[in-house]
Chains A and B, each alone.
Chain A
Amino acid sequence: MHEYSLAQALLEGLLAHLREHPAPGSIAAVHVRQGELLVLSTEALREAWRILTEGTVVAGSDLVVERVPAKVRCPGCGYLGPVRYLAEEGWHFAVPVLACPRCGGRAEVVEGRDLAIVGLSVDDATPPRPGVAA
């Protein structure tokens, strides 16, 4: 339910970036990393993006979301790496368990909670000049 506010934050960051560093063509896609620990609907995020970008320089751009797996560090045994997953019958996805997969100790999350723009795909075609019909 907070996809719109986060899409808005992504958009504001991107527009500020583009004011400083204009893209050399029209932006076809915006690439985003979404940590898997977030309770965030990728579909709703993409829909929010479609609506919120209307009338901006990135209108019509595709929001391409890459899901980033969780990674933990164990202060007990020094483990650093992926988490163990719990999959139960009838679940459509497996849930990351935040205990250390090696020693079972309490682990700290080092990756999997971020939502960030990591890149843009820019159409190489020269943008149409003002007054010239496309």
Chain B
Amino acid sequence: MHDTLGFGDVLKRQFELAERNYELLKDRGIRAINVMGAIGSGKTLLIIRMAERLKAKGLKVGAIAGDVAGDDDYQRFKAAGLPAMSINTGDDCHLDAHRVGHALTDFPLSGVNVLFIENVGNLVCPADFPLGTEGDLVVISVTEGDDMVRKHPKIFAQTDVVAVNKIDLAEIVGVDPQKLVADYRRLNPHGRAVLTDAKSGRGVEELLAALGL
């Protein structure tokens, strides 16, 4: 016997909550970016560098730091003068729209023009959980090797802006950043890959342009 059930998409709730976050951010005129990426790829510093440039243009930038534990990234955002908040997921390997929704309720959003939401360092799970941001960014760095895109094809196939960071170290670690870019272009013909070196700020302006900021 086989019954047909009329219920059940368990991810639909996530999409509904993401939609709610999207509307809240839109109503307040805040442009938010979900910054995903590998562990240690330089997401935090890249956000700080983008924030510096946006601030110089007169925009107010906020940051939410998502981590399994600790407030290290939050402290770095604060030290950089950004209104910030930290989310500890405890065990979860990704942020989700529910957690971000609570954070948006508590965050001092007044006057904020751009909000970076730094996801948990992970190239697998964040791909399944939209947060309600208008843009997504995946950050990888040359120090992870030139096969990082090929090893995590799904997140790259679904994300339209990628930063290949730490290109100042490319020669030292023997990695050709163009190989990462070529792999990405095959998976996502519409995507934009930007080579960055967050330390010196190289490529940051181009990354902001790719994100439409």
Contacts and interface: CB of A to CB of B under 8 A. Distances in A.
Interface of A: 1-2, 5-6, 9-10, 13-14, 17, 23-25, 31, 37-40, 86, 88, 91, 95-99, 104, 106, 113-122, 124
Interface residues of B, number: 33
A74 B199 CA distance: 39
B189 A6 contact: no
Contacts of B128: 2, 38-40, 113
B10 interface: yes
B187 A114 contact: no
Contacts of B9: 114-116
Q: What 8 pairs between A and B have smallest CB-CB spacing?
A: A9-B10, A117-B8, A116-B8, A116-B9, A95-B153, A1-B93, A114-B9, A99-B189
B7 A13 contact: yes
Contact of A116 (B10, B15, B94, B124): B10
Interface string B1-24: 111110111111101000000000
B144 interface: no
A98 B188 contact: yes
B99 interface: no
Task: Describe A's contact surface by its main secondary structure.
Answer: mixed
A5 B98 CA distance: 13
Nearest to B150: A88
Given A1-B93, A9-B10, A10-B8, A39 B155 contact: yes
B10 to A, nearest CB: 4
B92 interface: yes
Contacts of B2: 31, 119-121
Given A86-B157, A95-B154, A122-B1, 11 more contacts: A9-B10, A10-B10, A13-B10, A39-B154, A86-B187, A95-B153, A113-B128, A116-B7, A116-B8, A118-B5, A120-B5
A117 B7 contact: yes
Contacts of B11: 6, 38, 113-115
Contacts of B8: 10, 13-14, 116-118
Given A95-B153, A96-B157, A117-B8, A1 B124 contact: yes
Given A1-B125, A2-B93, A17 B12 contact: no
